Structure 1
Amino acid sequence: MMFQRLFLVHFFLLLSLTTATAKRLNTIPRLSPIGPRVWRDQPDKTTLGEFDGEDFETFFYNQTLDHFNYRPESYDKFPQRYLINSKYWGGANVSAPILVFLGAEEPIDEDLAAVGFLVDNAVQFNSLLVFIEHRYYGKSIPFGSREEALKDASKLGYFNSAQAIADYAAIIIHIKETLRAQYSPVIVIGGSYGGMLASWFRLKYPHIALGALASSAPILYFDDITPQDGYYSIVTKDFREASETCYQTIKTSWSEIDELASKPDGLSMLSKKFKTCNPLTDASELKDHLDTMYASAAQYNRPPTYPVNEVCKGIDGGGFGDDTLSRIFGGLVAYNGNLSCYVNAHTDPSETTVGWQWQKCSEMAIPIGVGNNSMFPPDPFDLKDYIEHCKSLYGVPTRPHWVTTYYGGHSIKLILQRFASNIIFSNGLRDPYSSGGVLENISDTVVAVKTVNGSHCLDILFAEENDPAWLVTQRKIEIKIIKEWINKYYADLTMF
């Protein structure tokens, strides 16, 4: 364990030394249903709800390393973790449904504690619940150890979305064979990157999954299908709608940070004003931290805390002074709570930090930039710099066009109308990643369910008693659609 930790620290330091040429690669919040846990005065949402881990039994499947080659090393195996809850299942005899959550860029334990759509609806579906962990995360590690699996690009080369959904296909087939549930319909569910996986799974493996719920899945944020400034345009809109004065303060703060940093002892003054954990060596440390805070607040702007509103209250309140930078510090405190220090605190890198960095550098090249009409300084996405940065990390260049080549994306309406069915794309329009989501119905069975006030993956988290009416309605619509898929499937079974 200690060796693994030291390996991750060493790897993270390597990444940190090469970030200057690709800032956008590092400041964009990762694709995750859960979001940061920063609220000091609020109970952690992931500890609430109806989750009971005792109802889940853990299994390990002897997974194939490489599903797409026949070289001897392709047949190597690794243990892949999945969990099953059969408490509410109606059984194979009545072909009761199977709801499968497709894990993404984190250990499956985190999803189990936060993603409640399956558990919340297990009774009315009489469904078997399955959570599958993504390869290279949690306990699903090839090559015997994490340090070996992350050693170099030759080992990381098996770490991609196509291998991941092939893993899921193998495990689902294994479960159905083991339980003799050949005719039980399968619905796959995922959020964010996992939502992309769910939609892609339905497209690639329609014979295995009857349908897919893809929550906050920005499948169109590749290959310049979506305007590059879409993400930060929505972040800006969220803050401006919350408070015009807050928006204006943030917009003017960047130049004031630069101005102060350029003065003798300016970085020292900034370090003191923002109570940084270590002295600032460059103004970009502070600006990147604030950039990430505002983006995260917007992406996860959900009840009951609504972090965008809280940040703006801190900025507008002037509790630390009336000047611009004091107000910005007030927003920092409002978001994080009262801490001994803020900004550039030492944190050990998580396996997600390391793993998602590889995924972004290999195939998940989402070209997010900042345009001229936002509260952030313009920072256009530079594909050449992005590729060179990733090549300096791993020795192999990014494949920025592979996602649209393999899964589609261009002319999405025409393609999905011709070849797809039974997919729900759900989005909250306050989520910056919704700018890359499917927001219009494609056909009668490829549908978009969106809410004006919704945030990232809110619909698949545990339901709470005080959830707003629009969120309750969104979930009811999704459940109704899935029930229609399943009922039609049962009707079709009687015809064969």
Structure 2
Amino acid sequence: MIILVFRWLLMLVVILTTKTYFGTAKRSPRLSPIDPLLMKGKKVYVTPSGFETFFYNQTLDHFNYKPESYATFQQRYIINSKWWGGANKSAPILAYLGAEGPIDLDVAGVGFLIENAPRFKALVVYLEHRFYGESNPLGSKGGPDSIEAMEESVNNKTIRGYFNSAQALADYAELLLHIKEKLHAHNSPVIVIGGSYGGMLASWFRLKYPHITLGALASSAPILYFDDITPQDGYFSTVTKDFKEASENCYTTIKQSWDEVDRVASMPNGLLILSQKFKTCSPLNNALELKDYLKNMYAHAAQYNAPPKYPTTRICEGVDGASSNATTDILDRVFAGVVAYNSPLGSTCYINMEESDDQTSIGWSWQACSEMGSPIGITSNVSMFQRSPYDANENIRNCMENFGVMPRPHWATTYYGGQDIRMILSRFGSNIIFSNGLRDPYSSGGVLEDISQNIIALKTTNGSHCLDIQISQETDPEWLVKQRKDEVKIINRWFRKYYRSLHLLKQ
């Protein structure tokens, strides 16, 4: 029996509540490893021949002995044992650490585990992050995509206290030990793999639970985008660089367009003019709505700037094509870029301002306020964007307004580290691959240089967000193929060393 998992594009989930968390303008760029736009209009199938879904009776609170700490919830995990060599051969386990969303999209879009399982004769496991998908302590309430339970969770002052990365890592530790115990796979080495926030979790898991995992592949993990370790301009400076490399004319047009939007908006009926020019799906209320949409569109295109289509190139081809017509003005050229990027929407309207909430936007708003906030801003004069510095006071106001909590901007570095990372990790860290594509704006907060012989940075000049762990394509360029091969070689080296040690211990 085929299990049909209705997994629509995250960004287009039906609105089930009138409350919007933070609004489009105040949201940090998404950390999702898979480009949500790639899944538009698609459904994800989990077949019985490959995958089995299980639920583990997970502990709600791993770190206290309060009465509520003994509560449990059902945590979902999905296993593919097709290629596993078995416990009697101590065959390895490749474990994907879920992040800020239901696990279904990762099962469908993250190909690194399935594609390499036959080579390693590995068991493949996907673990869902607490509070997302069907792993919410309040229940799924409508299916893995439903936002009802997430809404209740982040607004419940008792339950949301258990919604954090440390508890999630403890979940993964307990669940992996459970799986090994259940399969009698005590000597099977575990490699944890994650992308974006999940990549951060993978690297932190290796540091916090080295007795459970042999190593970690952390793809596009911005573990240094906290405190003042990474300049706040890092993200949008990379977006600017991506567009400037795609087309100097495109970069200049976008850079000049912001003042032009403001100028037209200030005219009588200016907002109506802009609404008509950009074919918005609803009338603009102010110029900021349009500018935020365009800013987020450019950021999204740069972050997921993957071959063979390369969204930044597609936008710039639209801008440059319109620029060749002497009758077009700056805003006409920018709109041509919007059309090139959003062409599947059709000619009725191209810009939808009414972005709906989904599990990721709601859950990540809480996580960003409580511990995972990255200080992303724009101060550089060479940026193609208008100046918009990160405002810590505004962030505090937003968090207080939405959740009634003060952010803890220093907690991530206090608990996981980050300052002086080279000196510290070279002393005690090992077996971590930090992979990044330099066209990914989040690479500005990633580890880009080797820390030691066993903490390795693999970077590609043209790579984008989490591209290395996604399903491989025949059109993949050679540099991407090589990056994946290098990752496999390193992991294979870890395995060889492990099995040699295991053999010696058994003698």
- TM range, normalised to the smaller chain? over 0.9
Alignment match of 1:200 (pick from 197, 200, 204): 204
Q: Secondary structure at the match of 1:32?
A: coil
Q: Kindly indicate whether the alpha-carbon contact (under 8 Å) linking 2:15 and 2:356 is maintained by their aligned counterparts in 1.
A: no
Aligned length: 479
Deviations 1:60-115 (A, max 9, x none): 00011111111010110100000000000000000000000000011000101100
Q: Does residue 1:439 correspond to 2:448, yes or no?
A: yes
Q: Kindly indicate whether the alpha-carbon contact (under 8 Å) linking 1:133 and 1:140 is maintained by their aligned counterparts in 2.
A: yes
Q: Kindly indicate whether the alpha-carbon contact (under 8 Å) linking 2:155 and 2:403 is maintained by their aligned counterparts in 1.
A: no
Q: Secondary structure at the match of 1:81?
A: strand
Give the whole-Å Cα distance in 1 for the aligned partners of 2:419 and 2:176.
30
Alignment match of 1:356 (pick from 364, 368, 383): 364
1:124 Cα deviation (Å)?
0.4
Alignment of 1:339-354 (within 5 A): 339=346, 340-354=348-362
Partner of 2:461: 452
Partner of 2:291: 287
**2:76 is matched by which residue type in structure 1?**
R
Aligned CA distance change for structure 1 residues 376 and 456 (closer, same or farther; 3 Å): same
Q: Does residue 1:74 correspond to 2:80, yes or no?
A: no
**2:330 is matched by which residue type in structure 1?**
T
Alignment match of 1:366 (pick from 343, 361, 374): 374
Alignment match of 2:475 (pick from 447, 463, 466): 466
Structure 1 alignment gaps of length 5 or more: none
Alignment match of 1:486 (pick from 481, 488, 495): 495
Give the whole-Å Cα distance in 1 for the aligned partners of 2:365 and 2:212.
30
**2:171 is matched by which residue type in structure 1?**
D
Q: Does residue 1:213 correspond to 2:208, yes or no?
A: no
Q: Secondary structure at the match of 1:138?
A: coil
Using the size of structure 2 for normalisation, the TM-score is: 0.91
Partner of 2:101: 106
Q: Kindly indicate whether the alpha-carbon contact (under 8 Å) linking 1:299 and 1:433 is maintained by their aligned counterparts in 2.
A: yes
Q: Does residue 1:170 correspond to 2:174, yes or no?
A: yes
Q: Kindly indicate whether the alpha-carbon contact (under 8 Å) linking 2:15 and 2:357 is maintained by their aligned counterparts in 1.
A: no
Q: Kindly indicate whether the alpha-carbon contact (under 8 Å) linking 2:293 and 2:353 is maintained by their aligned counterparts in 1.
A: no
1:6 Cα deviation (Å)?
9.1
Alignment match of 1:420 (pick from 424, 429, 436): 429
Using the size of structure 1 for normalisation, the TM-score is: 0.93
Q: Kindly indicate whether the alpha-carbon contact (under 8 Å) linking 1:8 and 1:350 is maintained by their aligned counterparts in 2.
A: no
Alignment of 1:73-472 (within 5 A): 73-144=68-139, 145=141, 146=149, 147-318=151-322, 322-337=328-343, 338-339=345-346, 340-371=348-379, 372-472=381-481
1:343 Cα deviation (Å)?
2.4
1:157 Cα deviation (Å)?
1.4
Q: Kindly indicate whether the alpha-carbon contact (under 8 Å) linking 1:153 and 1:396 is maintained by their aligned counterparts in 2.
A: no
1:123 Cα deviation (Å)?
0.5
Q: Kindly indicate whether the alpha-carbon contact (under 8 Å) linking 2:154 and 2:366 is maintained by their aligned counterparts in 1.
A: no
User: Which range moves more in the overlay, 432-441 or 370-379?
Assistant: 370-379
Give the whole-Å Cα distance in 1 for the aligned partners of 2:244 and 2:340.
17
Aligned CA distance change for structure 1 residues 38 and 289 (closer, same or farther; 3 Å): farther
Q: Kindly indicate whether the alpha-carbon contact (under 8 Å) linking 1:9 and 1:348 is maintained by their aligned counterparts in 2.
A: no
Q: Kindly indicate whether the alpha-carbon contact (under 8 Å) linking 1:11 and 1:354 is maintained by their aligned counterparts in 2.
A: no
Deviations 1:136-166 (A, max 9, x none): 1100011345154233333211111111111
Deviations 1:323-375 (A, max 9, x none): 10001000001111152212234354211111111111111110000122200
Alignment match of 2:52 (pick from 57, 61, 65): 57
Q: Which runs of 4+ in 1 moved over 6 A?
A: none
Q: Secondary structure at the match of 1:150?
A: helix
Q: Secondary structure at the match of 1:294?
A: helix
**Identity across matched positions, percent:** 61
Q: Secondary structure at the match of 1:33?
A: coil
Q: Does residue 1:34 correspond to 2:43, yes or no?
A: no
Structure 2 alignment gaps of length 5 or more: 1-12, 142-148
Q: Kindly indicate whether the alpha-carbon contact (under 8 Å) linking 1:102 and 1:188 is maintained by their aligned counterparts in 2.
A: yes
Aligned CA distance change for structure 1 residues 8 and 364 (closer, same or farther; 3 Å): farther
User: Which range moves more in the overlay, 436-445 or 339-348?
Assistant: 339-348
**1:465 is matched by which residue type in structure 2?**
E
**1:279 is matched by which residue type in structure 2?**
P
Aligned CA distance change for structure 1 residues 347 and 410 (closer, same or farther; 3 Å): closer
Q: Kindly indicate whether the alpha-carbon contact (under 8 Å) linking 2:44 and 2:105 is maintained by their aligned counterparts in 1.
A: no
User: Which range moves more in the overlay, 335-344 or 224-233?
Assistant: 335-344
Give the whole-Å Cα distance in 1 for the aligned partners of 2:463 and 2:395.
31
1:400 Cα deviation (Å)?
0.3
Give the whole-Å Cα distance in 2 for the aligned partners of 1:299 and 1:160.
25
Q: Secondary structure at the match of 2:155?
A: coil
**1:131 is matched by which residue type in structure 2?**
Y
